[in-house]
């Protein structure tokens, strides 16, 4: 799917078990709290709330995912997000710009930023799009903006225990009332800063 849709979809691969040393602490995860999960059973959630029913046969996954992604892409977008990132061996920063193009009545737009890491090896497997940190935290940043107002912010985080060259980020504006993602943005790679 990623090769078909490119950067128009942002993938986050949660590993929700206590024995998993890759992901952020599952107890801090707003994502995992929303969906009961059977260990070892993969599933797909779209836009933070819509859980896709997984078919019984892996051969049917492609069409199931295609249908779910097409459905999500047909929904209106209420925000614009643009971001870049930079990092070195001690810290990183995400520079973000968010504009609320429309504010649905009763919604509570909230900005979230997840720093991800690729190429994490565990035995014979390699994991990508693995969450390493919520920045600045799992509660996100409530957006108290009027329509067409813009927020400019710099989000800082520690890169300890990561390889900065393998970091990326997913930023998304979510309606905290309905858990619907209003817009998402992928920072594909961070610019590496020169070490001091």
- Are 116 and 168 in contact by the 8 Å Cβ rule? The answer is yes
Q: How many domains does the chain have?
A: 2
**pLDDT, tens digit, for every residue of 108-160?**
999 999 999 998 887 787 888 888 888 998 889 999 999 999 999 999 999 99
Give residue-wise pLDDT tens across range 52-105. Answer: 777 778 888 888 888 888 888 888 888 999 999 999 999 999 999 999 998 889
Q: Which of 10, 43, 73 is the last residue of a domain?
A: 73
- Mention every residue, 6+ apart, whose C-beta is less than 8 A from residue 184: 10, 81, 170, 171, 172, 173
Name which of 14, 43, 44 is nearest 30 in CA terms: 14
Nearest Cα residue to 172 out of 113, 124, 115, 118:
113
23 and 52 in a common domain: yes
CATH code of the domain covering residue 178: 2.60.40.10
Same domain, 46 and 88: no
Looking up tokens 């014979």 gives 124
Domain identity same for 18 and 105: no
Q: Say whether pTM exceeds 0.75.
A: yes
Cβ 135 vs Cβ 156: under 8 Å? yes
85 and 69: one domain?
Answer: no
What residue numbers bound the domain in which 188 lies? 79-192
Q: What is the pLDDT averaged over residues 22-44?
A: 54
Final residue in a domain of this structure, among 73, 95, 124: 73
pLDDT score, position 151 = 95
């Amino acid at each position: 799917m990623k090769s078909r849709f490119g950067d128009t979809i942002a993938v986050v691969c949660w590993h929700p078990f206590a024995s998993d040393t890759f992901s952020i602490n599952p107890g801090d995860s707003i994502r995992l709290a929303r969906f009961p999960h059977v260990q070892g059973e993969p599933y797909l959630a779209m836009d933070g709330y819509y859980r896709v029913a997984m078919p019984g046969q892996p051969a049917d996954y492609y069409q199931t995912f295609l249908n779910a992604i097409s459905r999500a892409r047909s929904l209106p977008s209420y925000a614009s997000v643009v971001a870049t990132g930079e990092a070195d061996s001690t810290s990183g920063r995400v520079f973000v710009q968010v504009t609320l193009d429309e504010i649905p009545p009763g919604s509570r737009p909230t900005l979230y930023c997840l720093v991800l890491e690729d190429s994490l090896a565990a035995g014979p497997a390699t994991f990508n799009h693995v969450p390493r940190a919520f920045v600045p935290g799992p509660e996100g940043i409530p957006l108290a903006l009027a329509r067409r107002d813009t927020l400019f912010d710099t989000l800082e985080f520690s890169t300890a225990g990561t390889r900065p060259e393998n970091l990326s980020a997913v930023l998304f504006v979510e309606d905290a009332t309905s858990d619907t993602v209003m817009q998402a943005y992928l920072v594909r790679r961070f610019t590496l800063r020169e070490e001091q």
